[in-house]
């Protein structure tokens, strides 16, 4: 995905985002439950056999074996200790670490998690790579271009490392995230540019990996997990103004769209327990955060099975006409319940979520978005293509007709909703007619924002093994440009409808364009630029005060450009709850 913020104006492309396979499946509860897939019962049987079979001691001559109850001592399960490393070897000893984050918002969140883990071990953070003892690149693999950027950067950093004064601690370079997972040892071996490699589920192991690297050896952990959600790692949020934060609610993806590397780099879908999400949002609210974006590869596929009472044999509801390409597991606390609980924590806190899958928008989710004032009326609905034939080749689990029916349903339930989408041009076998169908879908839906990409073939995917990447590069490019034009045209029309209308804007800070201007975002996540000024707290107030980041202001649109929307500012408003009231007053 894109660099830091998922919703950017049209035609700005963004790079994608996006843990360790273990023997253990996540179970609904500690007790066996009656409904299991065959695969789960096999896994259970296997675990029971391992748990009740002979232990390591059994094979060691002379070792005493307690046949009654095998004892696992604390130091056997304490993953912080490693017998072959001295006691404090994982300490950062105030070494400085510099993170460079590429790709999607998930990578920004991964950076916060990795930093939280290293900070606890005594590392210091720097944003100046020349100052850093350790440089960690949080990487993306979604398209070839994203990986090429990382290879170029690794060569630059290696040149820098070689030029470093011999009197200084030798610089260590690490690659974290998707690219580490995809390329594994190839990354360590090719060009010898790296000291440390950690996949998306291995950040807890970073202190150990770095300590091995400081000892002069390469270190790597690319194990994926069925369970890791970093639920207990409180990420260190780094947003410049501190008024908005991203909260990870799930990791991984089970969808296996035929073009996508994410399920291979980020592993299976798993959800963070609701209790830890609510705790983090409470803390953020107490810190004055005004906007939280719930984050995950498929946020709305959220399914928390951590508590017994969440388990049932009921299948989760899908959008009408949509199906999963995998066997959906039953039970669990679903996205609608999570969204409900999160949005009740602080009525002054805006709630967004990204990135959802169109299959998981049952009416109860849409009704909740409509009814709850602080849930933003903004939905990302990645279509990928407007042609049913291409959608089938992509293994998306829906047709053009089902997608359009969903759009109609969303617009009917949430009037004025802001819609955005992802599209891929030139996928395997895409004909000119398929492409025209995508153009017509864009015209029909009238999105506010779009993220458009030319297809980039990725090894390991279904498309790599089974389909032909047969659309020439120049045709992909031409079709991409046509999609961009269509998006621009339609988004201009949709966003023009805002002229003359009053909107609630959460102020972010000074506009990049001018120190005289401030910028913020409306409910639909469109950027709003307006003059810096003093405004009244209420329409009837005579007293005015300056507008600060984190304030909500009511503003009226004057004009809009492709990049931003310009407004007149009316007055501060204390909360989201005031929104409808303030609008009534104004009108
Ligand atoms: N080539 C081009 N775009 C891709 N995406 C995912 N995989 C590929 C690929 N191999 C796009 C999809 C997805 C977005 C995050 O990136 O549109 O929704
Ligand atoms: Fe990739 Fe499809 Fe999963 Fe999105 S839903 S991360 S496109 S496999």
DSSP calls for 143-178: SHHHHHHHHHHHHHHHHHHHHS-TTSPPPEEEEEEH
Q: What is the DSSP letter of 138?
A: E
- Whether the link from the prior residue into 72 is cis, omega within 30° of 0, is no
- Determine the pLDDT at residue 76: 36
3-state secondary structure of 517: strand
- Whether the CB of 347 sits within 6 Å of ligand 1: no
- Tell the residue number behind the tokens 């270190």, with chain if given: 219
- Tell the residue number behind the tokens 């989408």, with chain if given: 421
- Whether the CB of 16 sits within 6 Å of ligand 1: yes
Rounded to whole angstroms, how far apart are CA atoms 570 and 556?
A: 7
- Whether the link from the prior residue into 394 is cis, omega within 30° of 0, is no
Phi/psi of residue 164, nearest 5 degrees: -65, 140
- Determine the pLDDT at residue 87: 54
Exposed, middle or buried by CB within 10 Å (0-12, 13-18, 19+), for 19?
Answer: buried
- Determine the pLDDT at residue 65: 36
For the chain, what is the radius of gyration of the CA atoms? 25
Encoded tokens for 37: 């897939």
Of 202, 245, 214, 213, the C-alpha closest to 79 is: 202
Q: Are 576 and 374 spatial neighbours (Cβ–Cβ below 8 Å)? A: yes
Q: Are 261 and 200 spatial neighbours (Cβ–Cβ below 8 Å)? A: no
Of 250, 462, 484, 272, the C-alpha closest to 356 is: 250
For β-strands 291-295 and 350-354, DSSP reports them as parallel
- Considering the entire predicted model, what is its pTM? 0.81
What is the DSSP track for 195-228?
A: SEEE-TT-GGGHHHHHHHHHTT--EEE----SS-
- Determine the pLDDT at residue 336: 96
Distance 424 CA to ligand 1 centre (A): 6
Phi/psi of residue 534, nearest 5 degrees: -95, 140
Rounded to whole angstroms, how far apart are CA atoms 19 and 222?
A: 8
Most informative mutation of 297, 324, 394, 463 for ligand 2 (most atoms within 8 A of CB): 297
- Determine the pLDDT at residue 239: 61
- Determine the pLDDT at residue 108: 93
Helix (H) or strand (E) holding 507, with range, is strand 502-510
Edge-first strand order for the sheet with 449-454 is 378-380, 418-425, 449-454
Q: Are 200 and 178 spatial neighbours (Cβ–Cβ below 8 Å)? A: yes
- Determine the pLDDT at residue 85: 56
Of 98, 162, 143, the C-alpha closest to 125 is: 98
Mean pLDDT by 10 residues, the chain (587 residues): 33 26 28 35 48 43 37 38 60 91 93 95 95 96 94 94 86 96 88 92 97 94 95 76 89 96 96 96 93 95 84 72 72 93 96 95 96 96 98 96 96 95 96 98 93 94 98 96 90 84 90 85 88 81 86 83 52 40 22
For ligand 1, atom 16: residue with the closest CA: 16
- Whether the CB of 112 sits within 6 Å of ligand 1: no
Of 329, 271, 331, 267, the C-alpha closest to 299 is: 271
Q: Ligand 2: residues whose CB is within 6 Å? A: 253, 255-257, 260, 262-263, 297-298, 357
For ligand 2, atom 2: residue with the closest CA: 257
Ligand approaching nearest to the C-alpha of 426:
1
């Amino acid at each position: 995905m894109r660099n830091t913020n998922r919703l950017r104006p049209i035609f700005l492309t963004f790079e994608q985002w996006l843990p360790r396979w273990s023997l253990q499946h996540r179970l609904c509860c500690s007790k066996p439950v009656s409904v299991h897939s065959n695969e789960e019962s096999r896994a259970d049987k296997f675990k029971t056999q391992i748990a009740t079979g002979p232990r390591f001691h059994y094979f060691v001559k002379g070792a005493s074996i307690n046949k009654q109850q095998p004892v696992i001592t604390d130091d056997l399960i304490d993953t912080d200790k490693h017998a072959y490393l001295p006691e404090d070897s994982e300490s950062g000893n105030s070494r400085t670490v510099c993170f460079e984050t590429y790709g999607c918002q998930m990578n920004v969140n991964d950076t916060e998690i990795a930093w939280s883990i290293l900070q606890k071990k005594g590392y210091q953070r720097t944003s100046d790579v020349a100052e850093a003892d350790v440089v960690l690149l949080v990487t993306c693999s979604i398209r070839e271009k994203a990986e090429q950027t990382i290879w170029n950067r690794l060569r630059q950093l290696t040149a820098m490392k070689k030029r470093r004064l011999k009197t200084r601690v030798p610089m260590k370079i690490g690659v974290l995230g998707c690219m580490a997972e995809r390329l594994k040892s190839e990354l360590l071996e090719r060009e010898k540019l790296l000291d440390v490699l950690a996949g998306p589920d291995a950040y807890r192991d970073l202190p150990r990996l770095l300590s091995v690297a400081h000892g002069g050896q390469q270190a790597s952990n690319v194990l994926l997990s069925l369970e890791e959600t970093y639920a207990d790692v409180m990420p260190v949020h780094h947003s410049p103004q501190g008024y908005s934060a991203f909260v990870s609610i799930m990791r991984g993806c089970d969808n296996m769209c035929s073009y996508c590397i994410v399920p291979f780099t980020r592993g299976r879908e798993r959800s963070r327990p609701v209790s830890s999400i609510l705790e983090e949002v409470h803390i953020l609210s107490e810190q004055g955060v005004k906007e939280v974006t719930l984050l995950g590869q498929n946020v709305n596929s959220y399914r928390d099975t951590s508590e017994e009472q969440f388990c049932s044999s009921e299948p989760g509801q899908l959008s009408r006409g949509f199906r999963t390409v995998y066997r959906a597991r039953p039970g669990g606390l679903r996205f609608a319940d999570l969204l409900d609980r999160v949005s009740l924590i602080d009525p002054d806190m805006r709630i967004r979520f990204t990135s959802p899958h169109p299959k998981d928008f049952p009416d109860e989710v849409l009704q909740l978005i409509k009814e709850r004032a602080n849930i933003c009326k903004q939905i990302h609905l990645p279509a990928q293509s407007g042609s049913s034939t291409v959608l089938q080749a992509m293994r998306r689990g829906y047709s053009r007709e089902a997608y359009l029916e969903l759009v109609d349903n969303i617009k009917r339930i949430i009037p004025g909703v802001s819609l955005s989408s992802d599209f891929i041009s030139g996928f395997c076998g895409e004909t000119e007619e398929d492409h025209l169908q995508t153009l017509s879908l864009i015209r029909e839906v009238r999105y506010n924002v779009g993220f458009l990409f030319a297809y980039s073939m990725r090894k390991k995917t279904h498309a790599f093994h089974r389909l032909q990447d047969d659309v020439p590069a120049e045709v992909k490019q031409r079709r991409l440009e046509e999609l961009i034009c269509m998006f621009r045209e339609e988004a201009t029309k949709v966003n023009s409808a805002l002229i003359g209308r009053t909107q609630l804007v959460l102020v972010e800070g000074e506009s990049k364009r001018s120190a005289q201007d401030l910028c913020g975002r409306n409910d639909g996540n469109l950027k709003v630029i307006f003059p810096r000024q003093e405004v009244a707290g209420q329409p009837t107030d005579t007293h005015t005060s300056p507008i600060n980041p984190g304030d909500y202001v009511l503003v009226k649109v004057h004009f809009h450009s492709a990049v931003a929307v310009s407004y007149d500012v009316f007055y501060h408003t204390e909360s989201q709850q005031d929104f409808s009231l303030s609008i009534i007053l104004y009108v």
